[in-house]
Amino acid sequence: MAVNPKKQEMPSQAPEVRAHNFQEVALGYTAEMAEGEAKRCLNCKNQPCVAGCPVNIRIPDFIGRIRQGDYEGAYQIISRSSSLPAVCGRVCPQESQCESQCTLRVRAKMDPVGIGRLERFVADWHNANVHEKAQAPAPNGHRVAVVGAGPSGLTCAGDLAKKGYSVTVYEALHTAGGVLVYGIPEFRLPKSIVAKEVETLKELGVKIETNVIIGKTLTVDELFEMGFEAVFIGSGAGLPNFMNIPGEALKGVYSANEFLTRSNLMKAYLEDPDTPIMKGGKVAVVGGGNVAMDAARTALRLGAEKVYIIYRRSMEELPARREEVEHAEEEGIDFRLLCNPVEILGYENPENPRDPKNGFVNGIRCIRMELGEPDASGRRRPVEIAGSEFELDVTAVVIAIGTSPNPLIKNTTGGLEVNRRGGIIVNEEGLTSREHVYAGGDAVTGAATVISAMGAGKTAAKAIDEALRG
């Protein structure tokens, strides 16, 4: 039977509707669509897609189960390798991982099998139809502390809990989930999905202590004094980078982390929120990654009349997931490519120092760029075109040019070595320079992906188990 060259389309909310609400954009496959897409898989002997998956999910096997209508069997196969399939099916950059290796794409130049969409279908089916509670195993008598309730910490905690460890997760914020709750917006990843994963961990016996900042409320050394035998640090990379250009201290300039946290976690979209945010007006978002797309689309949903993405390279180099870029374009986000801000402009009324608009953003000055020779990252270096400055009329600016690990834990944990970017140095098992202290995820690599953070949590859990019981 001839293979359909096109991926089964994903049903979605219409752009003009979803631009005004925070509900999920992509609606998921029906069973019929999933089985149709599963039939496109060739069940390749050498399984190139598996090699492209950072946690080596047995992709052709789970797709085979979908073809047979055995969705729970498919779920069981995925969950052997991934503890957050409903999350990964939605946010993994499949186009640069499993799907980039798919034979349909590589050999036949067709659309790859929609592996991510199938993973999401299976996970959603399981969550809607299987309601068994997770069983906590018999305790093995060992205690482990986990710092941070993001994907790396939650995965490490879950894997250890399944082996009978008594695990306590210490989280700085009031809700568990890390970037999955404070960064990625509801319209891309409903918070109920993350809450369900956290519930499952609690059923396994994991204790989650929120509002505890390790390095302030307690130190890593104090955790050992409390009787924990190992500590996993999964504290992420939440420290925003800024551009260091004039005007960054003006009112109406946000880091993407602050902007998204206020909207996602602190519910700034409500009428009278505790932590308000600028709504409406014209917004410039600087950057081209997933974070920039999320900030731009959030600004739109908060009521902005115009939203720009300002990115210094071209569309080809833009690092965000393709699907998010397409969704942003459909929603009317204005992409200003090959340009870079040089100054954020502020309102100042010389005649009235009490004018309430004084000190607020009222524009952004940018310069056009062209691409030169490739730099160390292999991407072509953006070079300024002299004399090409121009101004955009905006009332808020969101800076989304990357984040770094927060130095708090390093500064309060003697002997913990970090690299020059602040990433905690670990060996291939996730062990740091301190005995029995492990780390993984963005705290080690700098801002990366959910799946790589989960992979690091798994690796460390295995190493901790071997160190404490092996």
| CA 95/CA 49 separation, integer angstroms | 11
Q: Given the complex with ligand FAD, which of 75 and 187 has the nearer CB atom?
A: 187
Proportion of the chain in helix, strand, coil states, percent, rounded to 5? 35, 20, 45
| CA 62/CA 50 separation, integer angstroms | 11
Residue 268 CA: distances (Å) to CA of 46, 239, 277, 397, 421: 49, 21, 6, 17, 32
Candidates 28, 114, 183, 240: give the one binding ligand FAD (CB under 6 A): 183
DSSP-assigned letter for residue 386: T
Q: Report in angstroms how near the CB of residue 320 gets to ligand SF4 at its nearest.
A: 23
Partner from ligand SF4, ligand FAD, none contacting 113, C-beta within 5 to 8 A by type: ligand SF4
Q: Report in angstroms how near the CB of residue 426 gets to ligand FAD at its nearest.
A: 12
Is-contact 283 299, C-beta < 8 A?
yes
> Which ranges of 166-255 would DSSP assign to H, the alpha helix?
179-182, 191-203, 220-225
Q: Report in angstroms how near the CB of residue 121 gets to ligand SF4 at its nearest.
A: 14
276-295 residues in contact with ligand FAD (CB under 6 A) are 290-291, 294
Q: Given the complex with ligand SF4, which of 71 and 308 has the nearer CB atom?
A: 71
Residues 6+ apart with CB under 8 A from 377: none
Does residue 178 belong to the site contacting ligand FAD (CB under 6 A)?
yes
Which amino acid makes up residue 151?
Answer: P
Candidates 81, 103, 449, 459: give the one binding ligand FAD (CB under 6 A): 449
Q: Which stretch binds ligand FAD (CB under 6 A): 124-132, 276-284, 371-379, 438-446?
A: 438-446
Q: Given the complex with ligand FAD, which of 92 and 198 has the nearer CB atom?
A: 92
Residue with tokens 């699907």: 323
Instruction: Identify which of 442, 184, 454 has the alpha carbon closest to the alpha carbon of residue 321.
Output: 184
Partner from ligand FAD, ligand SF4, none contacting 48, C-beta within 5 to 8 A by type: ligand SF4
| CA 184/CA 290 separation, integer angstroms | 9
Does residue 152 belong to the site contacting ligand FAD (CB under 6 A)?
yes
Does residue 149 belong to the site contacting ligand FAD (CB under 6 A)?
yes
Q: Which stretch binds ligand SF4 (CB under 6 A): 35-43, 223-231, 295-303, 305-313?
A: 35-43
Binding mask 76-105 vs ligand FAD (x if CB under 6 A, - otherwise)? ---------------xxx------------
Is-contact 412 219, C-beta < 8 A?
yes
| CA 339/CA 368 separation, integer angstroms | 4
Which residues are 392's β-sheet partners?
A: 364
257-276 residues in contact with ligand SF4 (CB under 6 A) are none
The sign of the torsion formed by the CA atoms of 262, 265, 266, 270 equals positive
Is-contact 307 295, C-beta < 8 A?
no
Binding mask 38-77 vs ligand SF4 (x if CB under 6 A, - otherwise)? ---xxxx--xxx---------xx-----------------
Is-contact 166 191, C-beta < 8 A?
no
State the DSSP H helix or E strand holding residue 391, giving kind and residue range, or none if neither: strand 390-392
CA torsion, ordered 461, 464, 465, 470, to nearest 10 deg: 150
Q: How many residues bind ligand FAD (CB under 6 A)?
A: 42
Q: Report in angstroms how near the CB of residue 46 gets to ligand SF4 at its nearest.
A: 8
Binding mask 93-132 vs ligand SF4 (x if CB under 6 A, - otherwise)? ---------xxx--------x-x-----------------
| CA 49/CA 243 separation, integer angstroms | 38
Q: Which stretch binds ligand FAD (CB under 6 A): 27-35, 190-198, 208-216, 242-250?
A: 208-216
Partner from ligand FAD, ligand SF4, none contacting 66, C-beta within 5 to 8 A by type: none
Partner from ligand SF4, ligand FAD, none contacting 103, C-beta within 5 to 8 A by type: ligand SF4
334-393 residues in contact with ligand SF4 (CB under 6 A) are none
| CA 133/CA 216 separation, integer angstroms | 35
Q: Report in angstroms how near the CB of residue 3 gets to ligand SF4 at its nearest.
A: 9
Per CB under 6 A, residues contacting ligand FAD are 91-93, 147-153, 170-173, 178-179, 183-184, 213-215, 234-236, 238, 260, 290-291, 294, 321, 406, 408-409, 441-443, 447-451, 453
The site for ligand SF4 (CB under 6 A) is made up of 41-44, 47-49, 59-60, 102-104, 113, 115
